[in-house]
Structure 1
Amino acid sequence: MPAHKDTFGTPRSLLLLGGTSEIALATARRLVARGARTVWLAGRPSPALEAAAAHLRRLGADTRTVPFDALDSEAHEGALGKVFAEGAVDLVLLAFGVLGDQATDERDPVAAARVAQTNYTGAVSAGLVCAGALQAQGRGSLVVLSSAAGERARRGDFIYGSSKAGLDVFAQGLGDALHGTGVHVMVVRPGFVRTRGTSGRAEGPLPTTPEQVATAIELGLRRRSEVVWVPGSLRLVMSALRHLPRQVFRRLTSV
């Protein structure tokens, strides 16, 4: 499958890790509308994954699925290597992750560890596999979905937030390691995103949607940004919160 970026830098081939992610699919729809023609959806085999692939095919993309489990790190190199063996990939979007349930997970260390393993160790493994493949082909972008929740531990989501904090630091370091190789790493930090998975949860400041995150991703790719906040004003909010005295911050985020 041929792959290249057009003169405006639009990716023509995409690999979405987390093939049923609403943010990933919103991004794919946006890029397919801009000319992307090959899409790989990586995820656990399921009717939802096949439905997502069928939807993108109807939009004109040559869409294929690949079995991928974030928790099965030993299988990552083989599964993802098959994708790159088919042809160059312009954009890898690392979009898998789980929110967990803070109240339940605090009482269940195994469940808490699963959140960390999915969001962090699974992402480290898959991220390194894809980074190596992108570096071998000499070009491409790796976009990593982090979260504003990783900026500072909050009482209500510190298990999830800590996993995203680890992922964020990893992705930034990976970007530095790949600087000058032709591979672009971009960290995306959305705030609260309105999805099926967050339905019923208390919204954080400046909530956003998968479509708004997708728009920010596309703009960040064009600008070759290293860090993207969604919405952009969230950067100032989080900077202020990050520097609040701990006693004040604890009272503000006690739930």
Structure 2
Amino acid sequence: MLDALGSPQSLLVLGASSDIAQATVAAVAARGRLNRVVLAGRPGERRDAAEASARALPGMSGAAITAVDFEASDSTSHSSFVDAVFDAGEVDVALVAFGVLPDAATVADPSAAANVVTANFTGAVSALTAISARMRGQGHGVIVVLSSVAGERPRRSNYLYGATKAGLDAFATGLGDSLHGSGVSVVVVRPGFVRTKMTHGMDAAPLAVGPDEVAQAIVTSLRGPSRTVWVPRPMRPVMSLLRHLPRTVFRRLPI
């Protein structure tokens, strides 16, 4: 459970090789004493590097750090995967941080576009359903879902990605409402443009942030009352304005 200062003792990360996930592990470790960290993702050099990075963090020498295989697109494996993680010990915080950012070629290909939906939305729904059931059973926990401001109003430049995030955001918000009173809560994190490996080579949008800023916002949310987190905070009024623009005006924007 969260300690007296609101810091978790155990952490499950889905999408462990992402820059935001790694920054979040470091931020959580810096504020408390993690006893157990499960880093889930596709096997390979990036996950190996994430594991090595976690083991090298100050204060983590005594923690049980485990790297496990997880495939977002294989929803048939998610229940057994989650059961294995929770059977080995309670999970205080689960971070869902996996996803893909499609390019123009992907958007134009029906099969590839469908695969993006599977990875970003369908896989997340499957994993979140399994995780929430086990957390409800243990009577406590926080599920952190990495959404995006792109889901507030999908733009023509990334409408496929925005659509998947819109679906994920709606599901996670509703899931959080359904868990009210159970001891389990859902935090939906809506960052703007984040400078990561996934966005490398792209022109940074206004109000761009780094992974550490998102991670700090996540850690702060674990102790605070807010279940919806905007990163940076000014993104909230900006997206509110964009969301309510007439469509004829919105279409003319160079976004």
What's the TM-score bracket when you normalise by the shorter of the two chains? over 0.9
CA deviation after TM superposition for structure 1 residue 51, in Å? 1.9
Which residue pairs with 1:223 in the alignment? 224
Say whether 1:16 aligns with 2:13. Answer: yes
What's the TM-score once normalised by structure 1's chain length?
Answer: 0.96
Which residue pairs with 1:62 in the alignment? 64
Give CA-to-partner distance per residue, 1:18-41, whole Å, 9 cap, x none. Answer: 010111110100111222221100
Taking the aligned partners of 1:205 and 1:55, their CA distance within structure 2 comes to 30
CA deviation after TM superposition for structure 1 residue 185, in Å? 0.5
SS in 2 for 1:7: coil
SS in 2 for 1:16: strand
Contact map agreement 1:145 1:189 (CA 8 A) in 2: yes
Alignment of 1:136-215 (within 5 A): 136-215=137-216
Instruction: Tell me the amino acid that sits aligned with residue 231 of structure 1.
Output: P
Taking the aligned partners of 2:39 and 2:15, their CA distance within structure 1 comes to 7
CA deviation after TM superposition for structure 1 residue 106, in Å? 3.0
Taking the aligned partners of 1:220 and 1:83, their CA distance within structure 2 comes to 24
What's the TM-score once normalised by structure 2's chain length?
Answer: 0.96
Instruction: Tell me the amino acid that sits aligned with residue 19 of structure 2.
Output: E
SS in 2 for 1:244: coil
Q: Which runs of 5+ in 2 are unaligned?
A: none
Which residue pairs with 1:81 in the alignment? 83
SS in 1 for 2:189: strand
Instruction: Tell me the amino acid that sits aligned with residue 164 of structure 1.
Output: K
Say whether 1:239 aligns with 2:240. Answer: yes
SS in 1 for 2:190: strand
Taking the aligned partners of 1:66 and 1:175, their CA distance within structure 2 comes to 26
Which residue pairs with 2:4 in the alignment? 7
CA deviation after TM superposition for structure 1 residue 247, in Å? 1.1
Identity %, equivalent residues: 53
Give CA-to-partner distance per residue, 1:38-80, whole Å, 9 cap, x none. Answer: 1100111112212211221122142101110000000011112
Taking the aligned partners of 2:200 and 2:53, their CA distance within structure 1 comes to 23
Which residue pairs with 1:25 in the alignment? 22
Per mean C-alpha deviation after superposition, the further-off stretch among 210-219 and 220-229 is 220-229
SS in 1 for 2:182: coil
Taking the aligned partners of 1:80 and 1:158, their CA distance within structure 2 comes to 31
Contact map agreement 1:66 1:79 (CA 8 A) in 2: no
Structure 1 runs of 4+ off > 3 angstroms? Answer: none
Taking the aligned partners of 1:106 and 1:184, their CA distance within structure 2 comes to 34
Taking the aligned partners of 2:123 and 2:151, their CA distance within structure 1 comes to 17
Give CA-to-partner distance per residue, 1:70-107, whole Å, 9 cap, x none. Answer: 00000011112111011110000000000011x21232
Instruction: Tell me the amino acid that sits aligned with residue 15 of structure 2.
Output: G
Q: What is the aligned-residue RMSD (CA, Å)? A: 1.0
CA deviation after TM superposition for structure 1 residue 231, in Å? 0.3
SS in 1 for 2:83: helix
Instruction: Tell me the amino acid that sits aligned with residue 173 of structure 1.
Output: G
Which residue pairs with 1:248 in the alignment? 249
Contact map agreement 1:19 1:42 (CA 8 A) in 2: yes
CA deviation after TM superposition for structure 1 residue 220, in Å? 1.1
Instruction: Tell me the amino acid that sits aligned with residue 126 of structure 1.
Output: A
